[in-house]
Structure 1
Amino acid sequence: MSDSRTAAWQQIEALPQETLGDLFAGDDARVDRLSGRIGWGEGEDAAGIRFDWSKTHLTDDLLAGFEALAEASDFTAKRAALFAGDTINVTEGRAAEHTAQRGFGSEASVEEAQALLARMQMLVEAIREGALGQIKHLIHIGIGGSALGPALAINALTRDLSYVDCHVVSNIDGVALEAAFEACDPATTLIAVASKTFTTIETMTNADSALTWLRENGVADPHGRVVALTANPERAVEWGVDETRVLPFMESVGGRYSLWSSIGFPVALAAGLDEFAAMLDGAAAVDEHFANTDGRDNLCLRAAFADQYYARVRGCQTRAVFAYDERLALFPSYLQQLEMESNGKRVTSQGEPVGGPTAPITWGGVGTDAQHAVFQLLHQGTHMVPVDFIASIAPGDALNPAHHRILLTNCFAQGAALMAGGNMSADGKDPAREFPGNRPSATILCDDLDAATLGALIAFHEHRTFANAVLMGINPFDQFGVELGKKMAKDIDGGAAEFDASTKALLEASGLG
């Protein structure tokens, strides 16, 4: 670690640890200083998201310390390199150009991304016009980023209207694929196979089984019902997909950042091209904010300051995310891959040991369900767990407004209770009814949860993840940690390696030995 980075951390770690109650006392401007908004649209179409970090332990002195850390970490230059399409994924020797899909990147990369998205648009329109016959169902097959992003977006955006009944299948467990088969009519089903390399064993095994299902149910040309979403179009053609139904995306777009590319095909088909375009626009609004706002005013960077503070200074090993909106039920799972696969590293970009904790464990759920399950630990357990609450001012339902009012009051009350604490016994002395308080939370409050907002939420967390990586000095764009277990699984299947006694016993007990 450089001397300037070490000095910045020493400055941060030396600061007093005040309670949230003390930080709010007598500071009427705290909420305004630690809240901000990212918006898009104009006039009646103006919309946006409010980010309130005032219930965290951030102070002006801490923010100044983290700004010094960002400067020592060369944040401004690395952010510029990200948007310029430079080779910032140093271990794999390539750029990370997911923002180019949204119009922010080198001119050549933006043009290429727009051309590929236009190709996707033409195929979606052709399918809608009946080029592949009547299509009522789509089975989207992928894993990791090729499945989590589409599943999140489809679940969030197609509850009111779905042009195509879409089922996202990722698990190699055949039960998952059979459930999709049960829900679909093979005569009117399209298969999307999403794989960057078109070699991922789980995805290709599921794809082969989907072709068998179509064939056994009277579809004469199963390959003619397949759309391939890949950065390796040649391999998709070799596998049997006609090139007119291959939707490529750029090699520089990583899997967990790929929703904005042709991996978003099922979103465009099920939710509509306008919804997909709106999702890109919302993400672009966050790109503009992140690219052009400096220091603590950069809301993505400010969130990373808090993340670093709790992980390194307060020793928090987890961070919880609770969406008080059923449409975001899959958002915590999406963030798990984004944050933990990106920043779950033990060495820096230069291959040196990281000087402190890296990504915390991301977990969460949906409010108000989670209040009756895990909030006991958050309020009275021995762990300090920073919490993000996400909610929408506008309801997602047309029922009695009492539903949404109760939902929002519970969301806001949980953050207030975590901070304030108290004792609920009659005499105020029962330790079993004592709440220590001083537990941090942030609130992300959306005007509405539409496609643009979803895009903005995802992009905010992408940039938050990148900012965290820069502050830690690591590369967030590789994921070698997923490879070892996959290699050993192949070794087991091929009988090519020796294993420990426990693994041998399990193989024998399961009939695989």
Structure 2
Amino acid sequence: MSVMEKVQTTQSVAGISFFFAHTVLPSSFNREYFDTYLQKLFHGEIVNQSEKRAAWHTEFRNPAPCQFVQDSLAQIKKISNSIREKQWFFDVTDVINIGIGGSDLGPKLICEAFADEKTGPNVHFVSNLDATQINSLLKKLSPKNTLLIITSKSFRTLETVENMQVAKQWLMNHQLDPAKHMIAITSNFALANEVYQIPQSQILIIPEWMGGRYSIWSAVGLSCAIALGFEKFYEMHDGAHEMDNHFYHAKNAENKPILYALMMHDALTNEQLKTVTILPYAHRLRTLPDYLQQLFMESLGKHVTNHGELTQHPTGPIVFGSAGTNSQHGFQQLMMQGTHPIFADFILPLEQANVVANCVTQVKTLREGVDDVDPLKKISGGKCANLFVLEKLNLKTVGALLAFYEHVVVTLAFLLNINPFDQFGVEHAKHESEKLLKEVGNNITSLDQIQKLFFYCE
């Protein structure tokens, strides 16, 4: 049986103070074995066993990275500066980032969070296969001043390719050369260049070892560099690197990602954790729950171990959330007085006194409860409410926060003996939908066809 030890955890890392509801250090946690895994992760060795790949996203935060990363960052800087300094083929006033999943959620989070610091063109995001999203955006923009960034690792992602074709046709309808208005970010250079005719100098490469949900640090973040400037964009990397160093070197009792992952693992294996609620008390971080939802659920949504056996415990939690006090008037009533186990992260920048007061009151009440003779007003307390305090809301602290959660996911996957770097469920859905479209075509929009698919499959 594991021996649990209570640990105090208020030390600041990269401008973030972590106040965990509780922490436990099981004696069974083998740090030496875990350190061997970390060495492989941080040095670009294979850790994604199912696809025989590294997962070297931390290298983009390394101040002295490998040559590929040096060249990639230099290309991001060169292209973003060219656009910002009006040295592109035309005066770029608007950029449309076309991508989905990690190719959308990361850049969107950063551009929205720091919109007030924007010094470059306006950046818009299109991800949905429903053409309503892109068509409504295109109506508002000037074609001659719009640049498209097409982000897809395979350059075959259905949503991204369909939206690219719509935008490309829009440009041609206005007698514009799409080649001057398009940048590709991909691992599939040949397809982007030879099939879709995007010039070589306008293709930025995503390395095969970079997973989408870990890719904001790479060329996938080009739209952020265009909007904010490369130097501002790289401040995020500085914060992440500080968190990387902490994760790699800090002892167990001081290591924030390890302590959090151990707490979550304990709750999962004891059937006390079904959901994780992400509550940023800052409107600027309103899309953080969406970003972390993909990071956690795509990474940890597995039912087979690295040894090919069925898992013995639940793996990834369901992640959801909302910004600030909005959630207090939505679902936090259930958190206070409902019957479900609660595991929540309150993320609090020290900015507005009234927001701070609301946030800390919620955390304190969830932890300590309220005793009242009237059972209707009683709050039981004892909930797992974590508080992460950001001394300032800037690119450095946000970069550190994102890196913290990445390391949590990696550690939790290690503890659960699952692979956090593949996503075969997602791949299956992509292939099957493409297959169905080829077989049925536009007839699939008929009610008769839907009935046949579900009720007359024999």
Q: Which bin holds the TM-score, normalised by the shorter protein? A: over 0.9
Asked whether the 8 Å contact 2:235–2:396 carries over to 1, the reply is yes
Matched, 1:230 2:186: yes
For 1:52, the aligned partner's letter is: F
Q: 1:347 aligns with which of 279, 288, 304?
A: 304
Match of 1:178 in 2: 135
Matched, 1:11 2:19: no
Counterpart for residue 126 of structure 1 = 82
Q: Amino acid of the residue matched to residue 132 of structure 1?
A: F
Structure 1: stretches of 5+ with no match in the other structure: 1-9, 17-22, 24-29, 40-47, 396-403, 498-502
Moved over 6 A (4+): none
Alpha-carbon shift at residue 508 of structure 1 (Å): 6.0
Q: Return the TM-score normalized by structure 1.
A: 0.84
| Map of 1:152 onto structure 2 | 109
- Structure 1 residue 312, shift from structure 2 partner: 1.6
Cα distance between partner residues in 2 of 1:293 and 1:87: 23
Aligned counterparts of 1:343 and 1:508: Cα–Cα separation in 2: 34
The answer to whether the 8 A contact 1:117-1:261 is kept is: yes
Specify the alignment match of 2:353 in structure 1: 405
For residues 317 and 393 of structure 2, the distance between their equivalents in structure 1, rounded to whole angstroms, comes to 27
CA offset digits 1:433-464 (Å, max 9, x no partner): 22111111111101111111111111111011
Aligned to 2:386: 442
What per-residue deviation string (whole Å, max 9, x for no partner) do you get for residues 80-111 of structure 1?
A: 1101111000000010010111117xx8x622
Q: Secondary structure at the match of 1:187?
A: helix
Shift of 1:36: 2.2
**Cα distance change of structure 1 residues 77 and 496 upon mapping to structure 2, 3 Å threshold:** farther
Structure 2 match to 1:36? 11
**Residue number in structure 1 paired with 2:40:** 81
- Does structure 1 conserve the Cα–Cα contact (< 8 Å) formed by 2:348 and 2:359? yes
Say which of 223, 229, 237 aligns to 1:266. Answer: 223
How far residue 486 of structure 1 moved from its aligned partner, in angstroms, is 2.0
Partner of 1:388: 345
In the TM superposition, residue 136 of structure 1 has moved relative to its aligned partner by: 0.3
Q: Which residue of 1 aligns with 2:376?
A: 432
2:234 to 263, 268, 277: 277
Deviation (angstroms), 1:184? 1.7
Identity of matched residues, %: 33
Residues 29-52 of structure 1, C-alpha deviation per residue, up to 9 Å, x if partnerless?
A: x7xx2222113xxxxxxxx11111
Give the counterpart letter for 1:75 in structure 2: F
Q: Number of residues paired by the alignment? A: 448
**Secondary structure class of the residue paired with 1:422:** coil
C-alpha contact (below 8 Å) 1:187/1:218 kept by paired residues: no
Does the CA-based 8 Å contact 1:211-1:223 persist in structure 2? no
1:432 is displaced (CA, Å) by 1.8
Match of 1:68 in 2: 28
Residues 455-508 of structure 1 show CA distances to partners (whole Å, capped at 9, x for unaligned) of 1111111011101011111110111111222222123212279xxxxx976356
Residue 366 of structure 2: which of 411, 418, 423 is its match?
Answer: 418
Tell me which residue corresponds to 2:417. Answer: 473
* 1:119–1:160 Cα change, 3 Å: closer
Report SS of the residue matched to 1:319: strand
CA distance in 2, matches of 1:204, 1:419: 48
Taking structure 1 as reference, are residues 431 and 449 closer, same or farther at Cα in structure 2, changes over 3 Å only? same
One-letter amino acid matched to 1:11: S
Letter in 2 for 1:493: L
Q: Residues of 2 paired with 1:169 and 1:465: CA distance?
A: 27
Q: In structure 1, how many angstroms separate the alpha carbons of the residues matched to 2:401 and 2:277?
A: 16
Deviation digits for residues 123-178 of structure 1 (CA, Å, limit 9, x no counterpart): 11222232221000000000110111000010111224341111011111111112
- How far, CA to CA, are the matches of 1:271 and 1:183 in structure 2? 22
Query: What CA distance in whole angstroms lies between the structure 1 residues aligned with 2:324 and 2:353?
Result: 13
- Give the partner amino acid of 1:417: T
Conservation of the 8 A alpha-carbon contact between 1:389 and 1:443: yes
Give yes or no for contact 1:113–1:250 (8 Å, CA) kept in 2: no
The AA in structure 1 aligned to 2:44 is G
Alpha-carbon distance in 2 for matches of 1:336, 1:174: 24
Gaps of at least 5 residues in structure 2 are 442-446
Q: How far apart, in 1, do the equivalents of 2:347 and 2:307 lie?
A: 36
Per-residue CA deviation, residues 377-434 of structure 1 (Å, 9 max, x unaligned), is: 10111101111000111x3xxxxxxxx11101000000000011124xxxx3222222
When normalised by structure 2's length, the TM-score is 0.93
Question: In angstroms, what is the RMSD of aligned CA positions?
Answer: 2.2
SS at match of 1:234: helix
- Does residue 218 of the first structure (1) align with residue 175 of the second (2)? yes
- C-alpha contact (below 8 Å) 2:81/2:229 kept by paired residues: no
Q: Aligned partners of 1:186 and 1:509: how far apart in 2?
A: 41
Q: What is the match of residue 208 of structure 1? A: 165
CA distance in 1, matches of 2:436, 2:382: 49
The whole-number CA distance in structure 2 between the counterparts of 1:274 and 1:183 is: 30
